[in-house]
Amino acid sequence: MTRSPGTPRTRGGVRRWIPAVTGALALAAGLLTVGAPTASAASLTQVTGFGSNPGNLAMYEYAPDGLATGRPLVIALHGCLQSASDYHGHSGWAQFADQYGFAVVYPQTNSTNNVLSCFRWFDSSQSTRGKGEALSVKQMVDKAVAQYGSDPRKVFVTGLSAGGGQAANLLADYPDVFAGGAVDSGLPAQCATAQGGASGCQNSSQNLSPKQWGDKVRNSYPGWTGSYPRVAIWHGTADTTVRPVNGTELRDQWTDVRGISQTPSSTRNLTGGTTLTSYNDPDGKPAVQLYSISGMTHGLAVNPGSGTGQCGATGSYYLDTICSSYYTAAFWGLDGSGGTTTLPAPTGVSVTGTTDTTATLGWSPVGGAASYDVYRGGAKVGSVTGTGFTDSGLTAGTGYSYTVAAVDSAGTAGARSTAVTATTTGYTPRCFTANNYDQVGAGRAHTSGGYTYANGSDQNMGLFNLFTTHTLKETADGYYVISDSGC
């Protein structure tokens, strides 16, 4: 629910005023509320004894049965007035943990830390390396890596809203721990270091250059000389709680840290009114991606369903637009793609018409596709910008197998569709060369008055004997013509 500044709140029988403009409540107004379905206790388990826990957080974890060692680990931070189970039940991360094989840790804060259970991204005592909540999360990583034998080179962090702001801080604080991150409706790393600066970060531009934003990251761990994490940024264009300028500032911050240009390497449209802008490293691999969702307000982008690229459950501030977890997992390479986000396979591929020499196909559009490649029997036979294609020059009465792949604006083809078979109409001509005696014996010709005639056309083939040879071409079932000059 949305509380305006100064709205009274009753707690413990006492009416208290909760000023939404204070830093401690900076992400409270209009933020996430509990009340949607949560994960079962059998799926989500609380872990204690994971360290000194200076941030006073709770640790919850989810891992698929039979999880192998050496698999990735994802840390997922909820938003204000949320819980670990709420985030687990809506975000879609459990689905991809099962599908791709990795463990998920859900840190959980509480109302003792912050009256609205927000992670304290705006408090330097909680958001810097070796301190408070940041250190508690690092201790959870250590615990999970030891418990599951996770690959310490493949640890990732994501968060929503206040959790997104804290996720950005963690990426800056611990580039030696996290290989990548995602900030959903969140804020740049170290945008505010005290409560008084929180509201300004949420609501307006800080008017900093990319280098100044990058310096906030570099100053979070001054001794670091290695590479920095890859970062995905998700933001709705209609977000009035954390203004969209935060997405732009995050882009400036992390491209500067990675030493790459703020000029996009590629731009493409995805489902749900989403525009994906990628910024590649010198090897041509996306290092920073900005997902801007047209018309989306404040929350986490989900897209319930069983189709490719769908996930999650809707609820308060879980908004049905696009499955952010799917694309983030692909960006990190958790799907085995190597970290290059490719388009899903087209669905609805069908044969819409055939003739004796052509086959026409149609399919459903794929968000973000600039064109489509069509394959016959595994070989590419065409590329079109629409959702239909006619293949020509085919043989009558013959079956052909087709698949289709969507291609993004950078020319990268995605997964191929399920194959469909098109069978052309008409009859496939066949030719038979034999003497007249054998042609009659095979039922391709008949005799009359000592002469031989082709069945169907009744063309005269000469005397009925073993010494006259012709080639007969069957142009329709049971219809033969003389074709001695070539078949």
pLDDT digits (tens, 9 = 90+) for 365-415: 988 788 999 999 888 999 999 999 999 999 888 889 999 989 877 677 777
Residue 459 has pLDDT above 90, yes or no: yes
pLDDT at 37: 33
pLDDT at 337: 67
Residue 476 has pLDDT above 80, yes or no: no
State the Cα–Cα distance between residues 316 and 452, nearest whole angstrom. Answer: 85
pLDDT at 20: 34
- Mean pLDDT across the stretch 220-234? 95
β-pairing verdict for 180-184 and 230-236:
parallel
C-beta separation of 431 from 474 below 8 A:
yes
pLDDT tens sequence across 127-166: 999 999 999 999 999 999 999 999 999 999 999 999 999 9
pLDDT at 35: 33
Run of H or E residues at 214: helix 210-218
- Mean pLDDT across the stretch 254-281? 93
Window from 90-94, 177-181, 404-408 with minimum mean pLDDT: 404-408
Is residue 161 annotated as a catalytic residue, yes or no?
Answer: yes
State the Cα–Cα distance between residues 274 and 408, nearest whole angstrom. Answer: 14
C-beta separation of 278 from 264 below 8 A:
yes
C-beta separation of 455 from 480 below 8 A:
yes
Sign for the CA dihedral angle at 47, 48, 50, 56 comes to positive
Residue 327 has pLDDT above 50, yes or no: yes
When the pLDDT of each residue in the chain is averaged and rounded to a whole number, the result is: 88
Q: Which CATH class is domain 350-423?
A: mainly beta
C-beta separation of 214 from 271 below 8 A:
no
Region for residue 245 given its phi and psi (left: phi exceeds 0; alpha: psi -120 to 50; beta: otherwise): alpha
Predicted structure pTM score: 0.67
- Catalytic residue, chosen from 161, 185, 265, 417, is 161
Q: CATH for 32-332?
A: 3.40.50.1820
Share of residues in the chain with pLDDT > 70 (%): 90
Window from 18-27, 47-56, 114-123, 141-150 with minimum mean pLDDT: 18-27
For the chain, the farthest-separated pair of C-alpha atoms sits apart, in whole angstroms, at: 118
The domains of the chain are located at 32-332, 350-423, 430-482
